[in-house]
Structure 1
Amino acid sequence: MPVINFSYEYFNKVLGEEIPRKKLIELLPMIGSDIEHYDDENVKVEFFPNRPDYYSVDGIARTVRGFLGIETGLPDYKTSKSGYSMTVDPELELIRPFTSCCIVEGIFIDEDGLKDIMDFQEDLHWVLGRDRKKVAIGIHNLDVLTPPFNYIAAEPKENSFIALETTEEQNLDDILFNHKKGKKYSHLIEKFDKYPLIKDSKGNVLSMPPIINGELTKLTENSVNVLIDVTGTDERAVNFALNIIATSFAEAGGKIKTIDMVYKDRTVETPDLSSKTMNVNIKTAEKILGVDLDVNAVVKMLERVRLGAKVLDSETVACEVPAYRIDILHEVDIIENIAIGHCIKKIEPELPEISTIAYPDNARLFENRVREIMIGMGFYEVMSLMLTSEDEHYKNLRLDEDDHVMVSQPISQDRTMIRKSLINGLMEFLEDNKHEELPQKIFEVGDVAYIDEAAETGTKIIKKIACAVTHSTANFTEIKSITDAFILNLGLKMEIETFDHPAFIRGRCARVEATGEAVEGSVVGYFGEVDPEVITNFELEYPVVAFEMEFKS
């Protein structure tokens, strides 16, 4: 999750008044942050990905003003028309079809502010943009440009510009495959014949989304007026990103001006900063929070966290949600903000008035037996997250991507799907601990998820066990002996046959199936020597052998 690092001096300047360091440190966790570190000059805070509006110091200061009573209620961001337009090329429909833009005039950027803007932009790329795949952002010096603007599908060989942090003009292919940012993000557009490009009316290049901006429009401490462009594959996410950035600039005193996005079949004026209204029931909030509430007090609590609120009746409050609050989707989200406005630390914990009698679960008893066997053979148990990413799960293990359970709103780029195997988690663990002594012998017992349309939830959860061993002489014979000993200690009989698995060396992998009275069903899996390419993908230096099995009833 993004970590925001700022000095007390800069925060107080943004806030508009002096707040004691101790009071700020006490206050930040109350608005939903985790303080990573602080000293006499700086503080590092971490916010959950559901609050990207906190990824700038201006966004944090906006809420702190509410808590301090400096400014409460819904922020009022005025917009005016710039008279400018951005024409969108219909050929971008299959490449990167959506864009939202605006102008912010009259800003003041010092060294700290410039750093904050750059960090803010990259954090949004990561959280909202899925590392630029879904959303990419450009912030430009408007004063060197001539409107109107054009967002086009450009021929790579026929268009060129000076990319950010370079001095020589290059065509789009050269930038994509030779520039540092191009190499990193080329996979997003390299499959297309044409690349996205934003130009002004004189042909000056602003940016090549989602790769790199032009050096011409680079922000400096002398920049006063800026153009913000957001492009992407999800129009809703694109608009959210623009709203968050534009309102952050407005908090710093900037004046927002709209731009018309001219598509083939429609024209859209952006940004749209209108709020939405949601009602919250006081009785529901009392039940969830466990505190007695009054409608008038709830209004003040919501205004304290910079939401609009008014009483509808004795049990209902209408809440106005600003355009930058993308986290509020349901009544329960409003109730969470009531808790924050009330002050979470004032809510007293209570023990539930229930009692239960525990007994061992049969499935857990069997898992414990499996663990005892592995520990008895000298293995250490590890526990990894069920969430992983397509890169870790498929690319690093050389697997073909297939149907899998995806996370609809992942908290980070490396947690986008539910695992189908335990092997990649073990490999990640070895990668993180490659500085430790060898040999390393680890195992994990855990759940994996498969798409199953026949299941009520559409998902089938399966219990698996996997182990991995790494040292300089790890080989097929060793992992076969480990597998044999594991099966034997379960009281089962094992049958093996040759098996090809993309993550293992061809000819040094086998399929195993074991049956017997000790288990209702069978144990099915594979074992072998991990392929050197996979080992290299996880930045390991020594051979790795592994097995993975599932229990079928």
Structure 2
Amino acid sequence: MPVITFEYQDLKELGINIENDKLIDILPMLGSDIEDFDDETIKVEFFPNRPDQLSVEGVSRSLKGFISQEMGLPKYKVSPSGEKVFVDKEIENIRPYIAFALIKDVKFDGEKLKQIMDFQENLHWVIGRDRKKVAIGIHNLDVINGDYKYIASSPVENSFIPLDHLNELTPKEILDEHEKGSKYAKLISGFDKYPIILDKNDKVLSMPPIINGELTKLTEDTKNILVDVTGTDEKAVQQTLNIICSSFGEVGGKIESLDIVYQDKTITTPDLSPKTRKVRVNFCNELIGGVNLNAEDVAKLLLKARMDTKIINENEVQVEIPSYRIDILHEVDIVENVAIQYCINKIKAELPNVSTIAYENNWFKGEKTIREIMIGLGFQEIMSLMLTSEENHYEKMKQIEDDHVQVSKPITIDRTMIRKSLINSLMEFLEDNKHEDLPQKIFEIGDTLYIDESRETNVKTVKKLAGAICHSTANFTEIKSTIASLLSNLGYEIEISPSNNSTFIKGRVSNIKGTSKNGTVSGFFGEISPEVINNFELEYPVIAFEIGFL
């Protein structure tokens, strides 16, 4: 999860005078975890559902409400700058959405410059999925001139000096030669042209989502900035800009809007107007439990959560939600804020009034048998998270990325999707334990998730079993013998056919299907490709199998 570091003095400069010990007690009540602290500095880990708290200004804003120092909706004035951003039609198929803001009278002295860079990078992966969905650029406004252009550039035109570089490079050279270019080239690879942002005089501001230009680099002397946010999701782009602008607005930055001119529409960004929802008092009491709140209580608690309220009747409260609170999607989320401001520790625990008779699910009875057979074959069971990353699941495994369930606000950069296969989890385990003695024989029984629009939830869960063996002489015959023994002991008649699974060595991989009175299983087995083995930094051959229970 994202960790932010700030000094107690930073909060004092923002108007909060709380004793250090009391601050340590309060912060966890706001949904954070104290990573470390000393007499001057504190490191705080926040859940990714609150990206607005990933800056010291956001933390200060929430704290002021919790201690009743400031109540209600923060108001940030947005003035029109009169400037425009013209969006090239050709950019639609590459990275189609953009939002701009000007922020004046900012201060970057002391640690502030580093803090804003950390804030930017935390937003990049909490909302931006490591720049794939959203990328942010923050520029020195005083060296450029509006209006601005967001264009699709030829790979060899619009050369510029990338950030922290000495020489001018073309967009293609940046992707081929620059460290950031190599890292993020996959985000715009496959296109004949690349995104570029220009000012009125055709000076290059940045090449999103890759890198900014050295021309607009921030320094401690920077007083006025331009913020650009580009991406593939229009809503996420605008939400990210709102969070950044609100953070600067909290310390007196003067926010100015621009008109974003598309081919078929013009929108103005940022839009910091609040959303309006209703919350029911009886729903709050029912969901929280152990409390007996009335409409006045709910309204006051939500004022502490930095929302404006209006009591409609004894059971309904109208709530104005600030634009930076992108985590509030449902009435339940408002109730959560009521509980937080009431103070979770004050809520009396109650046992649910439910009576049930438990019995063992038939699947788990069969799972016991599978475990006994695998252990009898010399395997050791592992248990891994269902969450993984596209890099580990597809790139390292030499698989083509397809439709999968993504985590909207991932806790870490390597936990961004729900797995569709168990093999990469086994490879990750072997990578983490390559210092252990060989042979290593491991297996896992676990859930995988597939998109299925025919179902109410749009997904289906598939139970799978996977096993892997690593030692110097591991080969196709060994893994074939292993899976044949497994399925035979489970009572399946097996059928083997050729496979083109790219994770494995060509010609040393097969599909397998098992049929019995209890149903069918299907999967594959073989020798893992040397390239995949190298991707996980292993030094010995690996053989593996995976079967799904249909």
TM-score (norm 1): 0.94
Which stretch of structure 1 is more off in the superposition, 524-533 or 240-249?
Answer: 524-533
Q: Does 1:176 pair with 2:175?
A: yes
1:523, 1:201 → 2: CA distance? 63
Alignment partners' CA distance in 2, 1:324 and 1:307: 11
In structure 1, how many angstroms separate the alpha carbons of the residues matched to 2:429 and 2:534?
Answer: 14
Q: CA deviation at 1:410?
A: 5.2
- CA distance in 2 between partners of 1:240 and 1:498 (Å): 49
Show the counterpart of 2:430.
430
Corresponding residue number in structure 1 for 2:297: 297
Structure-2 separation of matches of 1:40 and 1:155: 53
Letter in 1 for 2:303: E
Distance in 2 of aligned mates of 1:510 and 1:199: 53
Q: 1:264 to 1:497 in 2, by over 3 A?
A: closer
In structure 1, distance between residues paired with 2:9 and 2:257: 33
**Do residues 267 (structure 1) and 269 (structure 2) align?**
no
Secondary structure of the 1:91 match is: helix
SS in 2 for 1:541: coil
Question: How many angstroms apart in 2 are the aligned matches of 1:420 and 1:410?
Answer: 17
What code does the residue aligned with 2:256 have?
A: K
Q: How many angstroms does 1:41 deviate by?
A: 3.3
CA–CA distance in structure 1, aligned partners of residues 192 and 502 of structure 2: 31
The range that moved more, 255-264 or 444-453, is 444-453
Q: Distance in 1 between matches of 2:142 and 2:339?
A: 45
Q: Does structure 1 conserve the Cα–Cα contact (< 8 Å) formed by 2:148 and 2:198?
A: yes
Q: Is the 8 A contact 2:469 2:543 kept in 1?
A: yes
In structure 2, C-alpha distance between the alignment counterparts of 1:404 and 1:191, rounded to whole Å: 21
For 2:347 and 2:454, locate their aligned partners in 1 and report how far apart those are by CA, in whole Å. 44
Superposition deviation, residue 479 in structure 1 = 2.0
Instruction: Give the structure 1 partner of residue 187 of structure 2.
Output: 188
CA displacement at 1:324 relative to structure 2: 0.7
Distance of aligned partners of 1:372 and 1:206 in 2 relative to their CA distance in 1, 3 Å threshold: same
Deviation digits for residues 348-404 of structure 1, max 9, x if unmatched?
111123333322222111101111222233322122223333332232222234444
Q: CA deviation at 1:304?
A: 1.0
Q: What displacement does 1:432 show? A: 2.5
**Shift in alpha-carbon separation, 1:135–1:69, aligned structure 2, 3 A:** same
Q: Kindly provide the amino acid, as one letter, of the partner of residue 397 in structure 1.
A: M
**1: CA distance between counterparts of 2:433 and 2:304?**
45
Inter-CA distance 453–153: structure 2 relative to 1 (3 Å threshold)? closer
Q: Deviations over 1:253-300 (max 9, x none)?
A: 211111222223333221111111111010011110111102112122
| Contact persistence 2:126–2:409 (CA under 8 A) | no
Q: Distance in 2 between matches of 1:394 and 1:87?
A: 37
1:213 aligns with 2:212: yes
Q: What is the CA–CA distance in structure 2 between the aligned matches of 1:185 and 1:73, rounded to whole Å? A: 41
Q: Deviations over 1:205-249 (max 9, x none)?
A: 211111111111111111111111111222211111111001101
Q: Check whether the contact 2:153–2:193 (CA below 8 A) recurs between aligned residues.
A: yes
Is 1:228–2:223 an aligned residue pair? no
- Shift in alpha-carbon separation, 1:226–1:500, aligned structure 2, 3 A: closer
- Could you tell me which residue of structure 1 aligns to residue 88 of structure 2? 89
Q: What one-letter code is carried by the residue in structure 2 that aligns with 1:477?
A: T
Q: Partner of 2:201 in structure 1? A: 202
Give a deviation string over 1:52-108, Cα, whole Å, max 9, x none. Answer: 111111111110111122211110111212222222222222222221111111111
Structure 1 residues 388 and 314: CA distance shift in structure 2, 3 A: same
Q: Quote the offset at 1:492 in angstroms.
A: 4.6
Residues 460, 270 of structure 1: CA spacing in aligned structure 2 closer, same or farther, 3 A cutoff? Answer: closer
Deviation at 1:423, TM superposition (A): 0.9
Q: 1:514 to 1:105 in 2, by over 3 A?
A: closer
Q: Find the aligned partners of 1:3 and 1:433 in 2 and give their Cα distance.
A: 27
Query: Could you say what secondary structure the match of 2:111 adopts?
Result: helix
Aligned partner of 1:347 in structure 2 is 347
Are 2:2 and 2:411, in contact at CA under 8 Å, matched by a contact in 1? no
SS at match of 1:111: coil
Alignment correspondent of 2:522:
524
With 398-407 and 188-197 compared, the bigger mean Cα shift is at 398-407
5+ unaligned residues in a row in structure 1: which ranges? none
Query: Aligned residue for 1:479?
Result: 479
* Counterpart pick for 2:546 among 545, 548, 551: 548
CA shift digits 1:42-61 (9 cap, x unpaired): 32222222211111111111
The residue type equivalent to 1:547 in the other structure is F
CA distance in 1, matches of 2:432, 2:452: 33
In the TM superposition, residue 514 of structure 1 has moved relative to its aligned partner by: 4.0
Normalising to structure 2: TM-score of the pair? 0.94
How far 1:408 sits from its partner (Å)? 5.6
Distance 1:177 1:11, change over 3 A: farther
2:54 paired with 1:55: yes
When the two chains are superposed, the root-mean-square deviation of aligned CA atoms in Å is 2.1
Counterpart CA distance in 2 for 1:151 and 1:513 is: 53
Superposition map of 1:130-529 within 5 A: 130-290=129-289, 291-407=291-407, 413-452=413-452, 455=455, 457-492=457-492, 494-515=494-515, 520-529=518-527
Range that drifts further, 428-437 or 302-311: 428-437
Q: 1:362 to 1:415 in 2, by over 3 A?
A: same
Q: How much has 1:176 moved relative to structure 2?
A: 2.0
Identity score, percent: 58
Gaps of at least 5 residues in structure 2 are none
Q: Partner letter of residue 287 of structure 2?
A: I
Q: Tell me, in whole angstroms, the C-alpha distance in 1 between the residues paired with 2:222 and 2:456.
A: 57
Q: Distance in 1 between matches of 2:493 and 2:8?
A: 67
Aligned-pair CA distance for 1:524: 3.1
Aligned to 1:34: 33
Q: Counterpart of 1:117 in 2: which secondary structure?
A: helix
Q: Secondary structure at the match of 1:161?
A: coil
* 1:130 CA displacement: 1.5
CA gap 1:26/1:93 in 2 versus in 1, 3 angstroms:
same
Structure 2 CA distance for partners of 1:509 and 1:151, relative to 1, 3 Å: closer
8 Å Cα contact 1:162/1:168 also seen in 2: yes
Query: Residue 186 of structure 1 aligns to which amino acid in structure 2?
Result: A
CA distance in 1, matches of 2:388, 2:259: 39
Q: Indicate the SS of the match to 1:360.
A: coil
Structure 2 Cα separation of the partners of residues 220 and 176 of structure 1: 26
Q: CA–CA distance in 2 between the matches of 1:514 and 1:313? A: 63
Does structure 2 retain, via aligned residues, the 8 Å contact 1:10–1:112? no
Deviation at residue 311 of structure 1 after TM alignment: 1.3
